[in-house]
Amino acid sequence: MKITADGMKQFGNSELLCCPQCKNMVNMQVLKSSSGFGVFNVSLVDYQVELFTICPACGSIFAVDKSRSKEAGHSKSNKVNTISEAHLTFVKRINLNG
């Protein structure tokens, strides 16, 4: 039996942000990546949480800084509205057209 549960899921959408790459005002999709202890791939306790955002205009992926990820990611109320441009670090760009 596996005692760890790793996963990534959609976590919500940001408030209106200015994308640091394309400078468009957008609501970014927020993804939550977590590792934790659990059973049957269901996490009971998360020990590592990271948040990422994706710009719908240019396809840029950003990591959310660790302190903001910890605060928003462990919250049951899904506090993605606390993420701003200052909390984002560019990771890579993906092709949204196919």
Per-residue pLDDT of the chain (98 residues; tens, 9 = 90+): 456 556 778 888 888 999 999 999 999 999 888 776 666 655 566 667 789 999 999 999 999 998 777 776 555 555 667 788 999 999 999 887 76
- d(CA 81, CA 88) in angstroms, rounded, equals 13
Nearest-CA neighbor of 14 among 28, 31, 35? Answer: 28
Contact 34, 60 (CB under 8 A): no
Q: What's the pLDDT at 1?
A: 47
Amino acid at 32: K
Q: What's the pLDDT at 54?
A: 94
- Predicted model pTM: 0.76
Nearest-CA neighbor of 46 among 13, 1, 80, 76? Answer: 76
Q: What's the pLDDT at 48?
A: 74
Indicate the domain borders of the chain: 4-93
- d(CA 50, CA 32) in angstroms, rounded, equals 6
Q: What's the pLDDT at 25?
A: 97
Backbone angles phi, psi at 79, to 5 degrees: -85, 55
